[in-house]
Amino acid sequence: MARWQIPDEISGLYHGAHYFRSFPGRIFCNQRSVKKEMKALQKRFIIQLFIVSLLLYGILYLIFTKYFVANIPLVLMVGLLFAVNSAAFILLSDTKEKKPRSFVYSFMTISFGRLIVCSIFVFSYALTHRHDARTFALTFFALYFIYTTVEVRAIYAFFKN
C-alpha cells in the first residue's frame, strides 16, 4: 500500500464521502468545505422561508382585506416568525457536529424559547388591542405551526444528508 492511500479497513467507513482526503498515513476532514456547505444550506433555508413568508403574507392579506375587516399587523407577525425561525435554524444547524444528546437539548431549549417569545408577543398585543385579540392570536399561532413545520422538515432534511 502506498503512503498516500487510505487503508482498506478505513476506506469502507467513508465510502462515497467527498469531504475526506488522504495525507501520508492520516485522514483529515476538509472543514472548509463542510462549513461552506452548511452556510449554503442555511442560505437556502432562509430563502425558502422568505418565499413561504411572502406567500403566507399574500394569502393573509387577501383574506383579511376581502373577507374580514381586521386591523392586524401582518408584516409584524410574519417578520417576527421569519426572524425567530431563521435564527433557530441557524443555531440548530450549528449543533450538527456535536453529540446527538447536545442536539436534542438544543432543539428542546430553542423550541421552548421560541414558544415563550411568541407567547409574550401575542399576550402583549392582546393587552393593548382587545378588540382584535382573538383573531390575532388564532392567526399568529396558525402561522407559528406552519413555520415550525417548515423548520422541522428542513432540519430533518439537513441532518439526513
Specify whether the CB–CB gap between 93 and 158 falls below 8 A.
yes
Please check the confidence at residue 37 and state whether its pLDDT lies above 50: yes
Please report, for residues 6, 22, 91, 97, 122, the alpha-carbon distance to residue 25 in angstroms, rounded to integers and kept in the order given. 7, 8, 35, 24, 59
Beta strands in 62-151 (DSSP E): none
Give the N- to C-terminal CA distance of the chain in Å, as an integer.
Answer: 31
Rounded CA separation 70/26 (Å):
65
Which parts of 30-156 are beta strand (E)?
A: none
- Who contacts 134 (Cβ-Cβ below 8 Å, separation ≥6)? none
Which uninterrupted H or E stretch holds 27?
strand 26-29
**In this predicted structure, what is the pLDDT of residue 101?**
84
- Residue 148: the pLDDT is 92
Q: Say whether pTM exceeds 0.85.
A: no
- What is the model's pLDDT at position 23? 43
101-159 tens-digit pLDDT:
888 899 999 999 999 999 999 999 999 988 888 888 999 999 999 999 999 998 888 87
Q: How confident is the model at residue 20 (pLDDT cuts 50, 70, 90)?
A: very low
